[in-house]
Chain A
């Protein structure tokens, strides 16, 4: 029964992660999640910096990606002429097929210098002195850092979110849209007041799916985030994420505590991703 094997597989994954992470958890207790320190010499580890980095990069990525993918989905379902729909749709889907490592080197060699030279000085000059949000845009323009990683992540999750959105938009019955037009609504009003509310749960599902991708993404982030185990208020400073620190430090990890600290972080991620997927599943079922 091959189907049972699939079940065992995930069980095995979860179990081995739990077993591997136990020493770190037993040693540091809950403080592991709230400390910023990361020092292999004295065997002191805390996961706060990577956890913070993961959440912040994913959050910014979603802020960028959600409006853009909404636009793409609207364009593909409502605006594009029939001959344009298929090639554009396929092109967006191909963006999803590009391996993450390609996004990584592209981000490192093309996007990061571009941001460093043209975008970040501008951000620092104009947004840096502002109260409240000014703290986000201070410090020297490194090029690599939290902001760059977020942008790369946003590009990567774009196709996933817009594909889901397009699919749910297409399930909206034509009658609903036509009655909207019949009342004299503009195209935008039909989209915003009929199509979007009708497919709201599906949209949330797509966003969750994209968030899951962004949280777990490894290689692209490793290239551009700068891998600094500290929390800095500035978005331009280097940081680290959970999966990036696993990729960077695992092969060098010596000592059980070190390895298991990494594994523990991972376990937190998979638990979070699982929880989100569960919500997604329930929501998706109620729409489709």
Chain B
């Protein structure tokens, strides 16, 4: 075989392999979605959305878990979003090149990739032990701690995309710095920031590990923030590992619901980005 043939064959094989790798990645996404849909749809019924988690063997739905997840995600994002946005604004506008900002940026990146179970442990030590019992509030705070680094990062990135000329123009008109930020920069970066928030919601609504130690779980309907509250991820965790058929079925349905919700959130976030013209990392 001539050298040229060898090179051509190597080229062909390598390119086929990389195409194959992509197919493998797509295959796993497809396989997971297919499993979720085929096993989850069977459990879809009105009862799923109208009844609470049943005892083993009984019939029921996951209403309390859906409610708990929504409430805790909302509180988490309500606490996390303002803090994250303010911190991001500080990094992008006030302390862009200061030493403190680079330290904060580094710490934020560490928090961003810290295992979520660590956050759960932290909140357990700080809130659960002090309060003496598990509570929905502690769960929400844990989710907020996870949401903060995400919003800090996206807010900073989005604010940095706002053209310097617009800021200069505003300053030249005699606007104070805070005026420039609230009237010029925020509106210009709005779609990007909203995307960041959507991604943060998507991230925390699927978190399981931190809720294990904070919100725990609840078999019953509860709106008391100071008591343990049911939530989808932990219900899925417990029910999927249980030996009872009806619990496992509920776990699959719950898994399907939560995945659909997250995928819809992520896709709409991406659409918002391409509509706003920004670039998401």
Contacts and interface: CB of A to CB of B under 8 A. Distances in A.
Nearest to B94: A3
B157 interface: no
B126 A12 contact: yes
Nearest to B106: A281
Contact of B240 (A67, A98, A108, A277): A108
A71 B16 CA distance: 9
Contacts of B208: 99-101, 218-219
Contacts of A213: 113
Contact of A186 (B10, B17, B86): B10
Given A101-B236, A218-B209, A10 B111 contact: yes
A119 to B, nearest CB: 15
Find the residue from B87, B109, B118, B209 having the highest chain A CB count within 10 A. B118
Interface stretch (A30-38, A127-135, A262-270): A262-270
B117 A246 contact: yes
B103 to A, nearest CB: 7
A281 B36 CA distance: 37
B106 A72 contact: no
Interface in B74-116: 82-87, 90-91, 95, 100-101, 103-104, 106-111, 113-116
Nearest to B210: A218
Contact of B212 (A187, A215, A251, A278): A251
Find the residue from A88, A97, A263 having the highest chain B CB count within 10 A. A97
Given A75-B21, A105-B236, A270 B114 contact: yes
Interface in A56-77: 67-72, 74-76
B202 interface: yes
A7 B91 CA distance: 12
A90 interface: yes
B47 interface: no
Given A102-B255, A155-B28, A243 B115 contact: yes
Contacts of B205: 99
A9 interface: yes
Contacts of B36: 102, 106
A218 B116 contact: yes
If over half of A's interface residues share one DSSP class (helix, strand or loop), that class is named, otherwise mixed; here it is helix
A261 interface: no
A103 interface: yes
B121 interface: yes
B14 A99 contact: no
A273 B114 contact: yes
A251 B213 contact: yes
Interface string A249-288: 0110000000000010010011001100110010000000
A16 interface: yes
Interface residues of B, number: 82
Interface string A99-133: 11111111011100000000000000000000000
Interface stretch (B54-62, B168-176, B263-271): B263-271
B233 A99 contact: yes
A98 B122 contact: no
Nearest to B280: A93
B114 A13 contact: yes
Given A3-B91, A189-B11, A243 B117 contact: yes
A101 B25 contact: no
B216 to A, nearest CB: 7
Contacts of A219: 208-209, 233, 237
A159 interface: yes
A9 B21 contact: no
A106 B114 contact: no
A23 to B, nearest CB: 13
A252 B193 CA distance: 41
B24 to A, nearest CB: 6
A79 interface: yes
Contact of B149 (A6, A76, A90, A250): A6
A238 B32 CA distance: 23
A103 B32 contact: yes
Given A70-B18, A100-B206, A278-B106, 10 more contacts: A10-B107, A80-B22, A94-B266, A95-B25, A97-B263, A98-B32, A109-B35, A217-B115, A218-B116, A270-B118
20 contacts: A2-B86, A2-B87, A3-B100, A3-B104, A10-B110, A71-B22, A98-B263, A99-B207, A99-B258, A99-B262, A100-B206, A101-B208, A106-B36, A109-B240, A186-B8, A188-B11, A189-B7, A218-B209, A219-B209, A243-B115
Interface of A: 1-7, 9-10, 12-13, 16-17, 19-20, 67-72, 74-76, 79-80, 88, 90-95, 97-106, 108-110, 155, 158-159, 162, 167, 186-189, 191-192, 209, 212-213, 215-219, 223, 243, 246-247, 250-251, 263, 266, 269-270, 273-274, 277-278, 281
